[in-house]
Structure 1
């Protein structure tokens, strides 16, 4: 009856005591043998051409995602306006709605500017192998 189940709860070792390693294990020896047996990782660098293509794909994806999000939000906005037109709004509510609409339009404008700048930077930094292609 050397199992943990037969001991009263207060005498059972804690989870930390259970996890402690025995003193006869030599940590230095374990580390060196384990480290020497593991295969070395080699860094594989991507070519600039692949990095450029990835950046172009990411910018294109960001533009498509932004346009989808903008369409969805504008539909939600107009649907909400149509549903609440018959309700009487206070001046504060009306101002808050106009302020949010203005913030959304400014954000969309800034996002489009950022995407244009990214596109221009990608065009300027096009790898030499692609400069003649287009």
Structure 2
């Protein structure tokens, strides 16, 4: 029988365990420790990705946008027409333009055209760049 003198430091006083209960508890603790170690090793080996996780960027290659960056300088009507043409520009480049526009001028018609092409309700589905609003560029007068 385990007495108070045999209990680990900090164990509640008055608790008496049989030798078989102590052995069983140690065995269960050891199994849990092995499970935790195995889990940590697996996570480290897979860069934190669990089996079945869907990860990675939704639009791989969207950061390589330099050749298309001049598109956001087009007039709105021309830009909307160009972005809508799926044969002219790939989705990942449209996503890159959205990231660029949101991080830069963040103009409403450009952001809307890009979101429409990607079929997303919010630019935040593609990028975290930009504030909670877009900049209205509609003319207020003939000037």
Provide TM-score, normalisation by structure 2: 0.25
Higher relative contact order, chain-length normalized (CA < 8 Å, sep 6+): 1
Provide TM-score, normalisation by structure 1: 0.27
**Which of 1 and 2 has greater Rg?**
1
